[in-house]
Amino acid sequence: MDRSEAELDAVLEFDRQPTVALVETDRFCDGCGYNLRTQPVRRDARTQLLLCRCPECGRFQPVRDGVTAGRVWLQRLGTLALFAWIITVLAVVFGLGAAQVGFTIIPLEKLTRYQRVAISTPPAWQSDGTDTQQTQSGLGPIVISGMRINITQGGTTTTWRQVVRESYPHYQAFMTLMHGISFALGFLLTLLAVVVFHHWRRWGYLVPAILVPAATGLLVWYIWYYDNPHLCDWATTKIVGQAAAHLAGGLTGILLGRPFARLLVTLMLPPKIRQVLAFLWLADGKQLPQVAAEP
């Protein structure tokens, strides 16, 4: 019996052994780099070792690793890398939420302007608890309360406060741009969730998709209500519109996030490196990206 027949018999004998388990983590073939995750694990009849066989190049791979000093340090470095990765993910989520707050406030600021309103001067000894600053000669105190600025001069108090603009140039284009940015922020948020937390059930992604626009919208509404209560009803429609655009982007990211990530990985990474991101395929029950065996 020549070598090829002996190897074939060994493969057939190994494949007849019962499956003990499946490879549940990313593990790469030493021969071709194929990701062996989900491959069956069998016990070799001669050596009693737990092995799996690469479906690409046919090479046998041990399932267990020997413990060495170098591997112990690699595990410690891996723990630090995992901690750094968690901090990075949390920072990105916080940054996307902060960006949503900013792009919700921008339309409120752009679509309003300060208007001067003259009212009678209150007695000098009365105080409403706001910050007061004495100005130069001839002027009374400047009282800053929220977004209202009260300037007293010559017995008259002039109040500057924000009011809705009668018209804003390119209003529709401006609001479309703001809604588009909120949509993109929502899509990026759930794209990050479906990639990083690929083991979640799909309904779990609804939590960040709903929670972030709701929380940021309530925060902006509270800030605006504190500063401009007379414009709260008008601002509510704009805040809800931005939150709805963010939610729409989040729902789109839940449906199309992983396909979009797979497309980017396929276009930008060579097949062998692509194996590291095989979970993008496995999470949706798709076949792993193929790797051609090296000659």
Contacts of 77 (CB under 8 A, 6+ apart): none
Whole-prediction pTM: 0.68
Reply yes or no on whether the pLDDT at 287 is more than 70.
Answer: yes
pLDDT value of residue 107 = 92
pLDDT score, position 158: 65
Q: What is the pLDDT of residue 129?
A: 40
pLDDT of 168 over the 70 cut? yes
Q: Where residue 118 falls among pLDDT bands split at 50, 70, 90? A: low
The predicted model gives 208-232 an average pLDDT of: 91
Question: What confidence score (pLDDT) does residue 150 get?
Answer: 56
Is pLDDT at 145 greater than 60 in this prediction? Answer: no
Mean pLDDT, all residues of the chain: 78
Q: What's the rounded mean pLDDT across residues 141-156?
A: 53
